[in-house]
Structure 1
Amino acid sequence: VSTVVSMRHHARLPKLLPLYLWLLCALPVGIFAKLDLVDGLLKPKGLALDTSAGRIYWAEVGAMKIRSAKLDGTDIRDVLVKSDVLGAPTSLALDSIEKKIYWTARCCSVRRANLDGSDEQEVASAEYSSGIALDRVTRKVYWADWMQGRIMRADMSGSEAEVFYSKNLASPVDVALDPSHDMIYWSDFGRYRIERTGVDVATPVQGLNMSWAVMQTYGIAIDSLARKIYLSDYEHAGIEYTGRIIRTSLDGDDSEVLVSEPGMQMPTSMALDTDNGILYWTDQKSGKIQRLFLQCPASTLIVASRGNDTLEVQYAGSEHGSLTIAPCPEKYSGNLTLACSNGEVSVSSGRCGKRCPAGSVAPTFGLLKHEPDVEVNYGAMDDGERVDVPCPSDLVGVSQLKCKEGIVSVLGQNCRTAQPCKAGDTLVGDALVAYGFVPHGLMDGGACPSGFQ
């Protein structure tokens, strides 16, 4: 089953798809658990990375906390704990330079504190806030007002909130900045749309190509350098939820499903570590933080040959979901098709077989009793290769040889001593032509009989 499914040429599909259809996009069995970084959480939502300190932060709405852990999921700590459900943190953003964490509260403000939770301050009053992004150049903080259909902003140091954009929005839930191109993106959960505009509002608002969308798109993460956007979306029928992680170009084209598996229910906030090629997201309903390694770096894979020899196969770096061809090591023939999935490489198809070096073999069967034993010389052969080798010296015929795991075997041969042609006659047209004794391999002439020329 393919890990990455291209949606490039798909027409818009029905809103609700049976679960079994999404299994076609699922990761291979055994990788599901490898996605999980932290589990057992109470409605995790907002997510932010501090890669310089090697930590990940998240808002745990059900526990009314901001928590953090090492990037490997260990050393979980409470950063900030609220006692009032209305003050529960929902979305996070992190300023690693100023060592501040920003968040939206369930009601009714945007707030910030030190990374250890101390010195908490209100940045701006904000009703129905969701999603948060920091522009560290202009020192602005952006968030979405999902109830009133607005994108808001304020100074990071604290100021009155202002409406950044509000035309034709239904229920925006997340925002993300592309600082390299001075663009802001938002997901409108109520209209199944991703839109963007310049942070100076001079650029006309553009809707991304969403022909691939079949679910409600929520979280956004942007890779400015690679010009890619990562999206989380999900749908539900009754109590059944199904989620996906999708990657597209910045205009929404060339979309592909990176992850879709039965255990994924409601992926929401996302965070991207571009330096190490790792994508993180929260799954609010399943109570997990998950991650996906987007690349498999060049390395060496230990495999077994057809004869169970232990081999080291070198391979080039590749992207998650891709297939690459790696040649077998020296003295072995064949190629391996390698699959990159969540940072790990495995053999998709192919085997390495040991080559047979040039040599000779002495068949002991298939000869008439009066024929001598024959030693047949052959050139180097690939594993599994079959060749017909001419018989040596004054013998005629061929030997059929096969190479298997470095050993040459004789499948069959009909080498035999060359026999001369005894004197006789043969009918050529209407003439009976007589001939004399002719050694094997030579040619001789015969005179036409009387009455013929």
Structure 2
Amino acid sequence: MTSSTFLIALDVGLSNPVAGKSFRDIISQGEVLGISLDGKQVSTILSDSHFLSLPDGVIYHPANQRLYMTNMGVPPLNDGSVISTRLDGTDPQIILSKGQIHTPKQIALDKDNEKLYISDREGLRVMRCNLDGSGLETLIKTGDYKTPSDASDSTKWCVGIAVAPRRNAFYWTQKGPSKGTQGRVFCSRIDFEGERQAICLLDHLAEPIDLEIDQESNTLYWTDRGELPYGNTFNRVQLDESGLRLKKEAADDHTGLKHEIIVQNFDEAIGLARNPEDGRWFVSDMGGTIWSFDSDGGNKSVVFQDKRRSFTGIALSRE
């Protein structure tokens, strides 16, 4: 890459040819790509099937210049993992091994306290650990994954995650059934006394996936891969000063929504990342496209497209 700032994009590998391949081969086709912001330069950072098994979430830590990534493993098996590499894919390390976490999805970084936050979908929980995987703890538990009725209830599945240490808050999505309009966004305090409470900020969403919080403006953003017209969208909502409530609780008189839909017409939208230098957003979708647009949704354009790929999480990094 000639530019110091570039995209890290996870290709889950499910759009590669499957004819004649075993299921184990199919779920081991994932790759980690480095893509320039104009999409003209693409490099493979990691394609090691020993370390990649349906990669889903990724973050970059500028302090140690490492990537942290989640592997879903083989749903519904309890064999997900979290790994870390340098920006060039070298020095791969296992942060959370198989069995420590079930089906990890989005991962978020608390830079202030050097903590990783992870939504564990089929594990029915939100987890937190140190950068080396020590101190693993469950912050939120929506059910017992060993109980069949809980495990099959997708309204309990935790997918997206974001953390706002300035507000002493973290946020997660529970997506609900595919295209089911039962998705919800929750928040809770990081530090607290007594029993941790899950606060529902939004409900009846199409199918919310990944999250990002802008602590400067106290705005929560997310992707939604649900059914049209409200699904396959990029959304935002303004929070109050506490970060635990919506700034405006009442739905808009005209739209009937409590949140804003900024961009639409993605192809199974998943990842999101914002460039702090110019405020432009990037969204990845499972249709093999990475998009970019202004903060108001204008100037939407294709950064990179490859229909043989299926993108999940994305992040911005600097060399």
C-alpha distance 83-32 of structure 1, shift in aligned 2 (>3 A):
farther
C-alpha separation between the residues in 2 aligned to 1:180 and 1:169?
A: 25
Question: 2:183 aligns to what?
Answer: 149
Question: 2:96 aligns to what?
Answer: 80
Question: 2:273 aligns to what?
Answer: 221
What do the CA deviations read for 1:86-126 (whole angstroms, capped 9, x no partner)? 72322211112211111111321111111111111111224
C-alpha separation between the residues in 2 aligned to 1:189 and 1:197?
A: 17
C-alpha separation between the residues in 2 aligned to 1:32 and 1:246?
A: 13
Question: 2:237 aligns to what?
Answer: 197
The amino acid of 1:135's aligned partner reads A
Question: 1:61 aligns to what?
Answer: 72
157, 160, 163: which one aligns with 1:131:
160
Q: TM-score when scaled to structure 2?
A: 0.68
Q: Counterparts of 1:185-264 in structure 2 under 5 Å?
A: 185-190=221-226, 191-200=231-240, 201-203=246-248, 205-210=259-264, 213-235=265-287, 243-263=288-308
Question: 1:184 aligns to what?
Answer: 220
RMSD: 2.2
What do the CA deviations read for 1:369-406 (whole angstroms, capped 9, x no partner)? xxxxxxxxxxxxxxxxxxxxxxxxxxxxxxxxxxxxxx
Q: How far did 1:78 drift?
A: 0.4
C-alpha separation between the residues in 1 aligned to 2:125 and 2:90?
A: 31
Question: 2:132 aligns to what?
Answer: 116
Question: 1:37 aligns to what?
Answer: 45
Q: How far did 1:214 drift?
A: 4.7
What do the CA deviations read for 1:317-359 (whole angstroms, capped 9, x no partner)? xxxxxxxxxxxxxxxxxxxxxxxxxxxxxxxxxxxxxxxxxxx
Question: 1:89 aligns to what?
Answer: 104
Q: Which structure 2 residue ranges, 5 or more long, are not aligned?
A: 1-34, 74-78, 143-155, 177-181, 241-245, 249-257
Q: Counterparts of 1:332-371 in structure 2 under 5 Å?
A: none
What do the CA deviations read for 1:166-190 (whole angstroms, capped 9, x no partner)? 1x41211111112222211111210
Q: How far did 1:156 drift?
A: 2.2
Determine if contact 2:273/2:314 at 8 Å carries over to the other structure.
yes
C-alpha separation between the residues in 2 aligned to 1:176 and 1:122?
A: 21
C-alpha separation between the residues in 2 aligned to 1:89 and 1:215?
A: 22
Q: Counterparts of 1:283-298 in structure 2 under 5 Å?
A: none
Relative contact order: is structure 1 or structure 2 higher (C-alpha 8 Å, sep ≥ 6)? 2
Determine if contact 1:177/1:222 at 8 Å carries over to the other structure.
no
The amino acid of 1:192's aligned partner reads N
Q: How far did 1:132 drift?
A: 0.8
Runs (4+) off by over 3 Å: 31-34
Q: Which structure 1 residue ranges, 5 or more long, are not aligned?
A: 1-26, 236-242, 279-453
C-alpha distance 164-224 of structure 1, shift in aligned 2 (>3 A):
farther
Q: How far did 1:195 drift?
A: 1.4
How many positions carry a matched residue from both structures? 234
Identity of aligned residues (%): 26
Determine if contact 1:153/1:162 at 8 Å carries over to the other structure.
yes
SS of corresponding position for 1:83:
strand
The amino acid of 2:68's aligned partner reads Y
C-alpha distance 153-72 of structure 1, shift in aligned 2 (>3 A):
same
C-alpha separation between the residues in 2 aligned to 1:121 and 1:36?
A: 33
C-alpha distance 270-156 of structure 1, shift in aligned 2 (>3 A):
farther
Q: How far did 1:255 drift?
A: 0.7
Question: 2:312 aligns to what?
Answer: 268
SS of corresponding position for 1:82:
strand
Determine if contact 2:233/2:266 at 8 Å carries over to the other structure.
no
Higher alpha-carbon Rg: 1
The amino acid of 1:160's aligned partner reads Q
C-alpha separation between the residues in 2 aligned to 1:53 and 1:224?
A: 19
Determine if contact 2:235/2:263 at 8 Å carries over to the other structure.
no
Question: 1:160 aligns to what?
Answer: 197
Determine if contact 2:72/2:102 at 8 Å carries over to the other structure.
no
Determine if contact 1:57/1:66 at 8 Å carries over to the other structure.
yes
C-alpha distance 80-214 of structure 1, shift in aligned 2 (>3 A):
closer
C-alpha separation between the residues in 1 aligned to 2:294 and 2:41?
A: 28
Q: How far did 1:262 drift?
A: 4.5
54, 61, 66: which one aligns with 1:50:
61
C-alpha distance 149-259 of structure 1, shift in aligned 2 (>3 A):
same
Q: Counterparts of 1:379-394 in structure 2 under 5 Å?
A: none
Determine if contact 1:183/1:199 at 8 Å carries over to the other structure.
yes
Q: TM-score when scaled to structure 1?
A: 0.49
Question: 1:305 aligns to what?
Answer: none
What do the CA deviations read for 1:225-279 (whole angstroms, capped 9, x no partner)? 41211100133xxxxxxx011100112110111111244x211112123xx3x7x
